[in-house]
Amino acid sequence: MSTALANERLRKRFARWDVDGNGLLELSDFRQEAARIAQGFGKAENAPEVQGLRDAFEALYTHLAEQSGSAQGGISEEGFLRATEQLLFSEGEAAFNRALGPVVKSLVQLSDANGDGVLDGKEFSTWLVAIGLPAGQADEVLRKVDANGDGVLSEDELLRVVREYHYGRLDIELLG
């Protein structure tokens, strides 16, 4: 992946998570991201799967804050870029999976309306809209990322999609 593409995607991720636009990622931004996704699925704030998503985002924030060295006052864009570049390019895919795996697992648990353990097209589309993609793009994105062509994404497949996107090996839009 080119540095320019990596930085573009990471800066876009930063801007998306910086809900209040103050130039810092704070725990409240990560909680609001979880709430926005839960709202997209019409889930009550106190639902167990919403708490699971919130916990996963809070753990990700803590990890990124520690890696950036800015745990107290929030994570600056520079600190976020440093921490995520470290995660992606120095620590590798296993570290990425450890950091993002709980978020993806909780996303599947929240999104899986019929309880079959995978995201079908409608569930995947709802998630994409909740994170900011236009509704009309979901079917095309699913076709591009569904490697085995079964029309659904398992937790492992979704983690692969998120990982491949951030490594620049998947030319789709996931950030809206």
Cβ 128 vs Cβ 141: under 8 Å: yes
pLDDT recorded at residue 1: 46
State pTM to two decimals: 0.88
Question: How far, in Å, CA of 173 to CA of 176, rounded?
Answer: 7
Question: How far, in Å, CA of 12 to CA of 92, rounded?
Answer: 21
Question: How far, in Å, CA of 166 to CA of 114, rounded?
Answer: 29
Mind listing the pLDDT tens digit for each residue in 121-137? Answer: 889 888 888 887 887 88
Mind listing the pLDDT tens digit for each residue in 157-169? Answer: 999 988 888 777 7
Q: What does DSSP assign to residue 136?
A: G
The partner residues of 118 in beta bridges, in order of sequence, read none
Which residue type sits at 59?
A
Alpha carbon distance, N-terminus to C-terminus of the chain: 20
